[in-house]
């Protein structure tokens, strides 16, 4: 029994050291999550509204956008489900195939996407201690602003990325995006959008799309 206790103690000690290392690496996130939970408990605010892509929501979104061109409306407001449908349809097809169960949350100035991601494309050197425990598909959350850069073109600048409940360090997020696309110069994700959109402003209540100025 004495001989068996040595490796057991060693393994237990190693597990404690790994837990401490992960806790130290993600101390800022753990602290912010604790504050968020405490604040949420005290404030009792409404939960975030999550939108899921769907054919009806996509048709509705495109119908609203058509009004920017045909009816010459100044702006239209999309729901989270309509934004999720546009994002799902506009992402690079190769990346879209890696994502399951997409849900979109509208935040102040940012779009947050929750999904399950095929982890084969994640560079292990950027995921830190979590890389040894990654499963084939993992829940992720990515967030950042979206900007129209030209007719039918937008870019989603991912500024935060989380796997399960563990965030990727902010300075590693652009490298992760570049690795995922095999382009070291890329720092944002291209999103195809319908023509006629000049600007997108995101708030928790909805995403406002502005059309081209009237002559």
* Domain 50-211 in this protein, CATH class: alpha beta
| CB 80, CB 49: distance < 8 Å | yes
Q: What residues does each domain of the chain span?
A: 2-43, 50-211
CA 146, chain centre distance (Å): 11
Say how far apart CA 60 and CA 145 lie, in whole Å: 23
Say how far apart CA 140 and CA 148 lie, in whole Å: 25
pTM of the predicted model as reported, rounded to 2 decimal places: 0.73
Minimal CA–CA distance to 158: which of 143, 175, 176? 143
What crossing angle do the helices spanning 55-69 and 80-90 adopt, rounded to 10°?
90
CA dihedral (6, 8, 11, 15) in degrees, to 10, reads -130
User: Tens place of pLDDT for every residue, the chain, 215 residues?
Assistant: 555 454 544 454 545 555 545 544 454 455 445 555 544 444 455 566 889 999 999 999 999 998 887 766 789 999 999 999 999 999 988 888 888 889 999 999 999 999 988 777 676 666 666 666 778 788 889 999 999 999 999 999 999 988 888 888 888 888 777 766 656 667 788 999 998 899 999 999 899 999 876 65
């Amino acid at each position: 029994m004495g001989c068996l206790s040595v490796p057991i103690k060693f393994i237990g000690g190693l597990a404690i050291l790994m837990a401490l290392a992960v806790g130290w690496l993600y101390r800022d996130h753990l602290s912010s999550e604790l504050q968020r939970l405490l604040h949420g408990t005290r404030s009792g605010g409404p939960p975030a509204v999550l939108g899921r892509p769907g054919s009806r929501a996509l048709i509705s979104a495109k119908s609203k956008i058509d009004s920017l061109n045909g009816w010459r409306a100044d702006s239209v407001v999309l729901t989270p489900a309509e934004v999720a449908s546009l994002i799902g349809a506009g992402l690079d097809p190769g990346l879209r195939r890696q994502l399951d169960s997409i849900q979109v949350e509208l935040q102040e100035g940012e779009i947050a996407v929750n999904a399950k991601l095929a982890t084969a494309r994640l560079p292990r050197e950027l995921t830190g201690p979590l890389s040894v425990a990654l499963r084939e598909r993992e829940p992720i959350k990515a967030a950042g602003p979206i900007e129209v850069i030209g007719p039918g073109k937008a870019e989603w600048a991912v500024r935060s990325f989380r796997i399960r409940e563990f965030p990727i360090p902010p300075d590693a997020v652009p490298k992760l995006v570049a690795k995922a696309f095999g382009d070291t110069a890329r720092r944002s994700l291209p999103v195809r959008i319908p023509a006629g959109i000049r600007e997108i402003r995101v708030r928790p209540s909805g995403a406002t799309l502005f059309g081209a100025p009237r002559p």
